[in-house]
C-alpha cells in the first residue's frame, strides 16, 4: 500500500484560520504539504506542523494564473481555502472567491489533480450579499472545470484564532454595551478542527466526488444565544441592545473603515439577515459532518479553552457571571 508521503497536497490559503488547521490535519496523516500563499515569508510558523521537510511554502496569488499553475505543479490533490470577509483594494469578492476559484480549478484540471474547494453555507447566486454571490459563482466555476470536485460549505467557524467569538469577546472587554444585529438569525457554529478533519477525509477519498457538503456544529443557535454564551464563558455582564438592520447598515457605511473588532461592512449586515444553517436536503443526503462519520464539537465544549483570556481574572475566574 502506497504511503501518504508519496502524495503531494497543495493548499491555497494554507496560512489562514482554516488553513493552518488543515495543514496540521494533513501532516498528521503523513501527506506532503505545499502551502501556496501571497506572503510566504509570513507563513514560516507552519513548518512545525509536520516533520522536517514535510511542509513547503511557496508564493501564489489567485489573481495571477501563472503563479497558481506553478504552485500546484506535480500536485496529486489541490485544496482551495482562499476567501475574504471584506473587500480591500484589488482583493474583491469577485476576484478572489469567483475568478480566483475558477483559476485554481482550471489549473487543477490541467494537472489532473483531485480538487477540494471550500465555500460557505449561504452561497447563492440570487443573494443580495456580494460575498454570497461570489461564493456561488466560485462553486459553479469549480464544478464546470472539475465536475468531480468536492465542495464544503461550512457555517460560521469558531476556534482559537477565529474572527468570530474572539471578536465579540474583545468588544465585551472594551464596552459595557454590545449592539445586537440579527439577534434572531440562526447559525450553526462549527469547530474549525472538525472542518479540517472533513477536508482531510476528502483527501483520503472518504467524501463523495462532485458532491457539496454542508458543515455545521451540533447546535443551532440564534445570534443572541451565541453572544450570551460568549459572555457566560468570559464572565462578563453586558447589555445587549438590538439594532435594526437598516440602522446597522447605515452605521456599517462608516464602520467598514474601522480597525480590528470594530470593523463592520454593509455586506456583513446583509449576511446577518439570513439563517446560516445546514439544509434539510444536505442532511437527507448524508452530506454533512455526520455523514462523514465526524462527531461535531460544540461551542460550549471548545470555546472556554481559548476565550478564558478575556476574563478579568484570566483562566482562574469562574465562567458564571
Instruction: Express each pLDDT in 253-295 by its tens digit.
Output: 999 999 888 899 999 999 999 999 999 999 999 999 999 999 9
- Domain boundaries, given as residue ranges, for the chain: 4-162+188-218+277-296
pLDDT at 321 over 50: no
DSSP state of 267: H
The angle, 0 to 180 degrees and rounded to 10, between the axes of the packed helices 130-145 and 100-110 is 10
pLDDT above 70 for 41? yes
Q: Which tens digit of pLDDT belongs to each residue from 77-136? A: 999 999 999 998 989 999 999 999 999 999 999 999 999 999 999 999 999 999 999 999
Q: What is the pLDDT, as a whole number, of residue 1?
A: 45
What are 158-170's pLDDT values in tens digits?
999 999 999 999 9
Is residue 319 over pLDDT 70? no
Instruction: Return the pLDDT at 21.
Output: 97
Nearest to 228 by CA among 190, 180, 273: 180
Q: Can you give the pLDDT at residue 259?
A: 85
Q: What is the CATH number of domain 4-162+188-218+277-296?
A: 3.40.50.720
Q: What is the pLDDT of residue 261?
A: 81
Mean pLDDT of the residues in the chain:
95
**Angle, nearest 10°, between helix axes 223-233 and 165-174?**
60
Give me the pLDDT at residue 106, please: 98
In the predicted model, is pLDDT for residue 317 greater than 80?
no
CA within 13 Å, CB half, 247: 8
Contact 103, 117 (CB under 8 A): no
Paired with 178 in beta bridges are: 240
> Which residues neighbour 141 within 8 Å (Cβ) at sequence distance 6 or greater?
98, 99, 101, 102, 105
Of 316 and 72, which is predicted with more confidence?
72
Inter-axis angle of helices 17-28 and 192-203, to 10 degrees?
50
Q: Is the separation of the CB atoms in 319 and 235 below 8 Å?
A: yes
**Predicted local confidence at residue 3, as pLDDT:** 81
Q: Give the model's pLDDT for residue 166.
A: 96
The CA distances from residue 284 to 40, 119, 214, 279, in Å, are 41, 20, 11, 9
Helix residue ranges, H only, the chain: 17-28, 65-71, 93, 100-110, 130-145, 165-174, 192-203, 223-233, 245-255, 266-271, 280-285, 299-302, 304-307
The per-residue pLDDT for range 172-209, each reduced to its tens digit, is 999 999 999 999 999 999 999 999 999 999 999 999 99
Amino acid at each position: 500500500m502506497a504511503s501518504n508521503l508519496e502524495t503531494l497536497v497543495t493548499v491555497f490559503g494554507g496560512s489562514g484560520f482554516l488553513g493552518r488547521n488543515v495543514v496540521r490535519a494533513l501532516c498528521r496523516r503523513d501527506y506532503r504539504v505545499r502551502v501556496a500563499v501571497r506572503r510566504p515569508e509570513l507563513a514560516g510558523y507552519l513548518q512545525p506542523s509536520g516533520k522536517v521537510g514535510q511542509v513547503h511554502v511557496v508564493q501564489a496569488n489567485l489573481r495571477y494564473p501563472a503563479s497558481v499553475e506553478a504552485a500546484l505543479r506535480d500536485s496529486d490533490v489541490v485544496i482551495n481555502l482562499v476567501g475574504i470577509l471584506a473587500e480591500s483594494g484589488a482583493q474583491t469578492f469577485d476576484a478572489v472567491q469567483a475568478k480566483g476559484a475558477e483559476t485554481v480549478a482550471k489549473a487543477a484540471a490541467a494537472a489532473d489533480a483531485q480538487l477540494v474547494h471550500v465555500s460557505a453555507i449561504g452561497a447563492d447566486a440570487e443573494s443580495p450579499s456580494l460575498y454570497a454571490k461570489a461564493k456561488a459563482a466560485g462553486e459553479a466555476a469549480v464544478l464546470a472545470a472539475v465536475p468531480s470536485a468536492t465542495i464544503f460549505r461550512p457555517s460560521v467557524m469558531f476556534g482559537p484564532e477565529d474572527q468570530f467569538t474572539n471578536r465579540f469577546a474583545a468588544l465585551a472587554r472594551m464596552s459595557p454595551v454590545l449592539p445586537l444585529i440579527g439577534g434572531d438569525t440562526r447559525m450553526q457554529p462549527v469547530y474549525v478542527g472538525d472542518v479540517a478533519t472533513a477536508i482531510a477525509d476528502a483527501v483520503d477519498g472518504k467524501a463523495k466526488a462532485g458532491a457539496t457538503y454542508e458543515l455545521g456544529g451540533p447546535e443551532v443557535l440564534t445570534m443572541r444565544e451565541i453572544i450570551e454564551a460568549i459572555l457566560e464563558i468570559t464572565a462578563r455582564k453586558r447589555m445587549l441592545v438590538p439594532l435594526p438592520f437598516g440602522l446597522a447598515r447605515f452605521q456599517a457605511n462608516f464602520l467598514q473603515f474601522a480597525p480590528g473588532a470594530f470593523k463592520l461592512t454593509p455586506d456583513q449586515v446583509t449576511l446577518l439577515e439570513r439563517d446560516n444553517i445546514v439544509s434539510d436536503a444536505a442532511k437527507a443526503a448524508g452530506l454533512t459532518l455526520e455523514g462523514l462519520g465526524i462527531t461535531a464539537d460544540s461551542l460550549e465544549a471548545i470555546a472556554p479553552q481559548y476565550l478564558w483570556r478575556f476574563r478579568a481574572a484570566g483562566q482562574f475566574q469562574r465562567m458564571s457571571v
